[in-house]
Chain A
Amino acid sequence: MARPALGIAAAVLAIGTAACGRSDDRAEVRSVTDGFLAAYAADDGAAACARLSSHTVQALEDQEQAPCSRAVTELQLDVGDIARVEVYVTNAKVDLTTGESAYLSEEAAGWRLSAVGCRPEDGKPADRPFECEAEA
Chain B
Amino acid sequence: MRRLVRDNGLGLFFLGLLLVTIVAQALVGHADFNHQQVAHHDDPISLGRYVFSSDFGVDVLENWQSEYLQFTLFILATIWLVQRGSPESKELDQVGRESDEEQKVGEHATEDSPRWARARGWRLTLYSNSLLTVMTAVWLASWLVQSITGHAAYNAEQFDHQEASLSWGQYLGTSDFWNRTLQNWQSEFLAVGSMAVLSIYLRQRGSPESKPVGAPHDATGVEG
CB contact between B156 and one of A8, A9, A89 (< 8 Å): that residue: A89
Q: A19-B57, A19-B149, A89-B55 are in contact. List 5 more A-B contacts (CB 8 A).
A: A88-B152, A106-B43, A125-B164, A126-B165, A128-B163
- Closest A residue to B141 by beta carbon equals A12
Within 8 A of B (CB), among A83-136: 86, 88-93, 103, 105-108, 114-115, 118, 120, 125-130, 132, 135-136
Q: How large is the interface on A (under 10, 10 to 19, 20 to 34, 35 or more residues)?
A: 35 or more
Chosen A-B contacts, 20 in total, with CB atoms closer than 8 Å, are A5-B134, A8-B138, A12-B138, A12-B142, A13-B145, A15-B149, A16-B149, A19-B53, A19-B149, A21-B152, A86-B159, A88-B54, A88-B165, A89-B156, A91-B160, A107-B42, A120-B164, A125-B164, A129-B162, A130-B164
- Secondary structure type dominating chain B contacts: helix
- A27 beta carbon closer than 8 Å to chain B: no
Contact, CB under 8 Å: A105 / B160: yes
In angstroms, Cα B164 to Cα A128, docked, is 8
Within 8 A of A (CB), among B121-153: 130, 134, 137-138, 141-142, 144-145, 148-149, 152-153
- A92 CA to B164 CA, complexed, in Å: 11
**Given the complex of chains A and B, what is the CA–CA distance between A9 and B142 in angstroms?**
8
Q: Tell me whether B155 is interfacial, beta carbon within 8 Å.
A: yes
The residues of A that contact B64 with a CB separation of less than 8 Å are 12
In Å, the complex CA distance between A32 and B60 comes to: 33
Please, which residues of chain B bring their CB within 8 A of the CB of A89?
53-55, 152-153, 156
Do B43 and A88 touch (CB < 8 A)?
Answer: no
Determine how close the nearest CB of chain B comes to the CB of A108; give it in whole angstroms: 5
Check B41 for interface membership: any CB of A closer than 8 A: yes
A9 in contact with B141 (CB, 8 Å): yes
The interface of chain A, by Cβ under 8 A from chain B, is 1, 5, 8-9, 12-13, 15-16, 18-21, 53, 55, 86, 88-93, 103, 105-108, 114-115, 118, 120, 125-130, 132, 135-136
Give Cα A130 to B61, complex, Å.
31
- In the complex, residue of chain B having the shortest beta-carbon distance to the beta carbon of A109: B43
Is residue B21 contacting chain A, with contact meaning CB distance below 8 A?
no
B6 within 8 A of A: no
Residue of B nearest to A6 (CB): B134
Q: Which residue of B lies closest to A56 (CB)?
A: B41
A106 vs B43: C-alpha distance when bound (angstroms): 7
Please determine whether B57 and A15 come into contact, CB atoms closer than 8 angstroms.
Answer: yes
